[in-house]
């Protein structure tokens, strides 16, 4: 294998197969729905042909054979020699999968893999060469019966059957495909023949080792895994151009410095000449000297012009470079979901359902890491939707719905978050059936279950082993899928929520952080330092005159759109003193569905696009702060976590540990003597049950809405015990227990885990993390919860 630019040919082949297989998969599905649209076929022929060419270069005969037979079949359809049938589409999709599988093998494993899979390859190539089966639509056309298995043989000779492996300069090359020149916009990092359109470059750090040809076959050592990322080739080109330009611009600075020095010398000399001429009182010399001064001034103006140009260019280049680098992290959402149309088609056919699948927001840029993590949860959700969510065509007809069901995956940016919604128009989820199951399984009493909101009930579906599906199928319904979805989403500090209406359909709403995305923010000054509020997370900013601020029960408030809005001091909230009062007060209005508050800041600094920078992990979660950014002048700014701030505010206000602005003389509440227990639980109902149970016994109970909130409170206050759930957004209970246990300050605090998860491995995970007790939520009924708390922390 050769190496060009740090990439082995095999790596380039793999990248090329990825690109073309995505195009093949997508195009074949389109062809299936529009069999008479011959225009769809040419790009497919080109893709198959390109794979064949690339496979030949790297010497993978199995891929050459498969791609060749796929191309032949496509040519026959294009020439009208055969009709598009579902059976043929199946075979072509099978071929696409096979090519993908080939490219995913380690290079060193390929010969053995090819031998082991020779019969599958032969069967498929024979089927592709044979006339299409006349299976009536829409039933799937089974692949032709396997031909007698060929003895394992090198795949170079593998395509034994009807059509031999295409010889070099095959007659098929007479089709328009081969005649198609490489498009001018083709961006090939290297130029293997028939390079794909807009190949994505593979950037690898460090430069991968070059696989040497079979020199040491006995002890082939696998190259070390290194992190590789795909960067759009155009984007990479532009970054390289701009980096080069930046260096060129930088090199101009010594010349500019020298030129300015020369002008200074010129000016000095002209001034000296002028002074000398004036001392002598010689008008002719004075005139000459004045001319010299004039020339020096003109030179200075020229140099200043050059300098301004230099600054402008430097700024332009660095800004462009910055935007390209930011852009390089982003990938279009569509890239992460490109395999789903095919998956939906296959699963729907298997189940005999008729499903239309749409992707909205395919161009939405998504951080590459988030995109990679999204694939598995979306896969689970979509499979579930097809299998359990959507009705059979006859059921839909009977319900007055169109026979063709619909699933829509939609991505968009909102409030600095990536929102992904998967919506189906199926039968919906019955909240009551979940309620019944919760009671049946002893997870809650009937009384408490009756009080659970629909949203809380839907959350049970994310518990391991909790499934309402009546049948466990091969496709889904094993009760593990949604648990995995929940885990993966929460591991990115995201949330997932279910909305459903019986008979209308179900939506899974995922909210994920866009960690390195650009954020439009309102910049304000608090305690002399800049803070950024994500623009989409604030309601508005106001300048409120002194007269418009009134006092109610010692707390300041002002009218916002006719609504009395309490004011809080930003500096006090951040623990940075107090904001000085002025004639007019700058207020940032924050709010959600539970209410709004006005945060008083020193002044507004304006709006700016900021690149969100994650904070150093050593700082842990900082209350009220989500991330950092660097401003235009190079100084850091902190980005306010509006959601966290509102949640914390609400709690502190209710506990009396934080009070409204203007009531600073108020006390911080009564002296606490009772033992203090922190309850971390995301379900408001369960949280309230636990709070009431413990409060009735006389404990002083504080509550946290998730693990992160709990961790912040633990560090900020004194607690004698922690009671925590496991499944919580932002930080789960296991992570919380580990954090608490790893900090010497809290190592002694007893911890009880109370969860719906009752499997042995869940208990083990809780106890291994450092919990002192593991209880299920059924323990509320049999006093074991109270007994455990009393045993661990003592009487109130």
Partner 1 sequence: MSEDRTLSLVKPANAAVAGLEQLLTRPLTESDLDRATAALAAPLDERSRSRISLLAMRAGGEILAIMAGEAAKVVPAGTIHRVPHRSNQIFRGLSNHDGELLLCMSIEAALGIPAPAKRERSILVVAEQGRERWAFEVDSIVGVTDVDERSLRAPPMTISAAKTGCARALARIDEGEAVVLDVHSLFSIFRGATS
Q: How far is the CB of 615 from partner 1 (least distance, A)?
A: 8
CA triple 218-223-227, angle to 5 deg: 165
| Bridging pattern class, strands 529-534 and 636-640 | parallel
Do the Cβ atoms of 337 and 421 come closer than 8 Å? Answer: no
| Bridging pattern class, strands 751-755 and 773-776 | parallel
Q: How far is the CB of 636 from partner 1 (least distance, A)?
A: 4
Q: What residues between 680 and 719 interact with partner 1 by CB under 8 A?
A: 716
SS3 state at 29: helix
For residue 652, what are the contacts with CB-CB under 8 A and spacing of at least 6? 658
Identify which of residues 152 and 620 has a Cβ nearer to partner 1 in the complex: 620
Do the Cβ atoms of 14 and 103 come closer than 8 Å? Answer: yes
Q: How far is the CB of 715 from partner 1 (least distance, A)?
A: 8
Q: Does 624 bind partner 1 (CB under 8 A)?
A: yes
Q: Does 628 bind partner 1 (CB under 8 A)?
A: yes
> Of residues 146, 154, 575, 794, which one binds partner 1 by CB under 8 A?
575
Q: Spell out, one character per residue from 584 to 623, where the chain touches partner 1: x when CB under 8 A holds, - when not.
A: -----------------------------x-xx-xxx-xx
Q: How far is the CB of 538 from partner 1 (least distance, A)?
A: 18
Residue 216 DSSP class: S
Q: How far is the CB of 528 from partner 1 (least distance, A)?
A: 9
Q: How far is the CB of 628 from partner 1 (least distance, A)?
A: 6
**Region near partner 1 per CB under 8 A, out of 252-260, 526-534, 657-665, 718-726:** 526-534
Identify which of residues 291 and 578 has a Cβ nearer to partner 1 in the complex: 578
| Bridging pattern class, strands 355-360 and 405-414 | parallel
State how far the Cα of 88 lies from the Cα of 767, in Å rounded to an integer. 55
Please choose, from the candidates 491, 532, 534, 498, the residue with its C-alpha nearest in 3D space to the C-alpha of residue 512. 491
DSSP letters for 641-660: -HHHHHHHHHHHHHHTSS--
> Of residues 743, 746, 767, 786, which one binds partner 1 by CB under 8 A?
743
**Region near partner 1 per CB under 8 A, out of 38-46, 373-381, 624-632, 770-778:** 624-632
Q: Does 635 bind partner 1 (CB under 8 A)?
A: yes
Q: How far is the CB of 619 from partner 1 (least distance, A)?
A: 6
Q: How far is the CB of 574 from partner 1 (least distance, A)?
A: 4
Q: How far is the CB of 248 from partner 1 (least distance, A)?
A: 20
Do the Cβ atoms of 67 and 47 come closer than 8 Å? Answer: no
CA triple 517-728-439, angle to 5 deg: 140
Identify which of residues 237 and 743 has a Cβ nearer to partner 1 in the complex: 743
Q: Does 43 bind partner 1 (CB under 8 A)?
A: no
Strands (E), 115-195: none
Helices (H) and strands (E) in the chain, counts: 24, 27
**What are the two backbone dihedrals, phi and then psi, of residue 114, each rounded to the nearest 5 degrees?**
-65, -40
The footprint of partner 1 on this chain (CB under 8 A) covers a number of residues equal to 26
Q: Does 530 bind partner 1 (CB under 8 A)?
A: yes
> Of residues 442, 636, 698, 717, which one binds partner 1 by CB under 8 A?
636
Q: How far is the CB of 618 from partner 1 (least distance, A)?
A: 5
β-sheet bridge partners, residue 586: 543, 601
**Region near partner 1 per CB under 8 A, out of 246-254, 371-379, 634-642, 767-775:** 634-642
Q: Does 529 bind partner 1 (CB under 8 A)?
A: yes
Do the Cβ atoms of 466 and 351 come closer than 8 Å? Answer: no
Identify which of residues 362 and 625 has a Cβ nearer to partner 1 in the complex: 625
CA 779 from centre of chain: 38
> Of residues 213, 281, 634, 670, which one binds partner 1 by CB under 8 A?
634
C-alpha separations of 164 from 149, 749, 777 in Å: 17, 74, 67
C-alpha separations of 491 from 94, 499, 614, 759 in Å: 34, 21, 15, 21
Binding site for partner 1 (CB under 8 A): 527, 529-530, 573-576, 613, 615-616, 618-620, 622-625, 628, 630, 634-638, 716, 743
């Amino acid at each position: 294998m050769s190496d060009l630019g740090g990439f082995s040919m095999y790596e380039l082949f793999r990248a090329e197969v990825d690109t073309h297989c995505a195009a093949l998969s997508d195009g074949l599905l389109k062809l299936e729905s529009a069999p008479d649209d011959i225009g769809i076929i040419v790009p497919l022929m080109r893709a198959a042909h390109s794979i064949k060419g690339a496979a030949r270069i790297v010497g993978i005969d199995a891929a050459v054979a498969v791609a060749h037979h796929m191309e032949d079949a496509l040519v026959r359809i294009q020439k009208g020699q055969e009709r598009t049938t579902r059976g043929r589409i199946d075979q072509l999709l099978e071929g696409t999968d096979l090519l993908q599988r080939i490219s995913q093998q380690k290079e060193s494993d390929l010969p053995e893999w090819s031998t082991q899979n020779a019969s599958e390859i032969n069967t498929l190539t024979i089927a592709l060469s044979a006339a299409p089966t006349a299976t009536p639509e829409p039933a799937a056309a089974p692949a032709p019966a396997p031909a007698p298995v060929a003895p394992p043989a090198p795949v170079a000779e593998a395509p034994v059957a009807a059509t031999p492996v295409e010889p070099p300069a095959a007659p098929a090359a007479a089709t328009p495909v081969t005649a198609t020149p490489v498009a001018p916009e083709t961006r090939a990092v290297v130029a293997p023949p028939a390079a794909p359109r807009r190949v994505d470059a593979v950037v690898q750090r460090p430069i991968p080792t070059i696989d040497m040809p079979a020199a040491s076959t006995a002890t082939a050592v696998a190259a070390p895994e290194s992190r590789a990322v795909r960067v759009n080739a155009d984007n990479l080109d532009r970054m390289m151009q701009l980096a080069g330009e930046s260096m060129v611009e930088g090199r101009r600075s010594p010349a500019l410095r020298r030129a300015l020095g020369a002008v200074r010398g010129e000016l000095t000399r002209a001034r000296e000449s002028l002074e000398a001429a004036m001392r002598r009182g010689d008008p002719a010399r004075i005139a000459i000297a004045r001319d010299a001064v004039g020339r020096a001034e003109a030179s200075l103006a020229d140099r200043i012009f050059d300098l301004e140009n230099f600054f402008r260019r430097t700024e332009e280049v660095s800004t462009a470079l910055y935007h390209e680098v930011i852009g390089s992290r982003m990938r279009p959402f569509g890239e992460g979901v490109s395999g789903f149309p095919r998956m939906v088609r296959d699963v729907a056919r298997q189940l005999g359902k008729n499903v239309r699948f749409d992707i909205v927001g395919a161009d939405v840029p998504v951080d590459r890491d988030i995109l990679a993590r999204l694939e598995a949860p979306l896969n689970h959700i979509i499979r579930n939707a097809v299998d359990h969510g959507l009705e059979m065509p006859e059921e839909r007809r009977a319900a007055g719905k169109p026979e063709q069901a619909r699933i829509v995956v939609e991505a968009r940016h909102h409030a600095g978050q990536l929102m992904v919604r998967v919506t189906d128009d199926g039968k919906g989820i019955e909240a009551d059936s979940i309620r019944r199951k919760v009671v049946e399984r002893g997870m809650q009493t009937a009384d408490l279950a009756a009080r659970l909101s629909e949203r809380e009930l839907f959350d049970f579906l994310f518990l391991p082993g909790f499934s309402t599906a009546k049948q466990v199928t091969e496709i889904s319904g094993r009760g593990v899928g949604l648990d995995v979805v929940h885990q993966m989403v929460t591991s990115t500090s995201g949330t997932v929520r279910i909305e459903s209406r019986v008979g209308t359909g179900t939506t899974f709403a995922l909210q994920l952080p866009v960690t390195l995305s650009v954020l439009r923010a309102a910049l304000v000054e608090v305690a002399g330092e800049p803070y950024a509020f994500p623009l989409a997370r604030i309601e508005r900013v106001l300048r409120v005159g002194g007269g418009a601020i009134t006092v109610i029960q010692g707390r300041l408030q002002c009218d916002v759109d006719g609504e009395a809005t309490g004011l809080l001091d930003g500096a006090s909230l951040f623990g940075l003193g107090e904001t000085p009062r002025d004639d007019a007060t700058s207020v940032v209005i924050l709010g959600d569905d539970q209410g709004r508050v006005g945060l008083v800041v020193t002044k507004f600094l304006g709006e700016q696009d900021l690149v969100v920078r994650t904070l150093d992990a050593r700082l842990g979660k900082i209350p009220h702060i989500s991330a950092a950014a660097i401003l235009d002048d190079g100084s850091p700014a902190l980005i306010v976590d509006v959601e966290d701030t509102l949640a914390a505010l609400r709690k502190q206000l209710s506990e009396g540990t934080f009070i409204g602005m203007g009531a600073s003389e108020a006390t911080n509440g009564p002296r606490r003597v009772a033992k203090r227990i922190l309850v971390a639980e995301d379900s408001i109902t369960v949280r309230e049950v636990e709070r009431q149970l413990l409060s009735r016994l006389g404990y002083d109970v504080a509550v946290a809405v998730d693990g992160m909130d709990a961790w912040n409170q633990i560090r900020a206050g004194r607690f004698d015990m922690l009671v925590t759930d496991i499944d919580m957004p932002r930080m789960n209970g296991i992570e919380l227990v580990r954090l608490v246990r790893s900090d010497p300050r809290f190592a002694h605090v007893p911890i009880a885990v109370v969860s719906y998860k009752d499997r042995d491995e869940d208990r083990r995970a809780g106890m291994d993390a450092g919990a002192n007790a593991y209880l299920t939520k059924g323990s509320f009924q049999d006093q074991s919860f109270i007994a455990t708390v009393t045993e661990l922390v003592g009487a109130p």
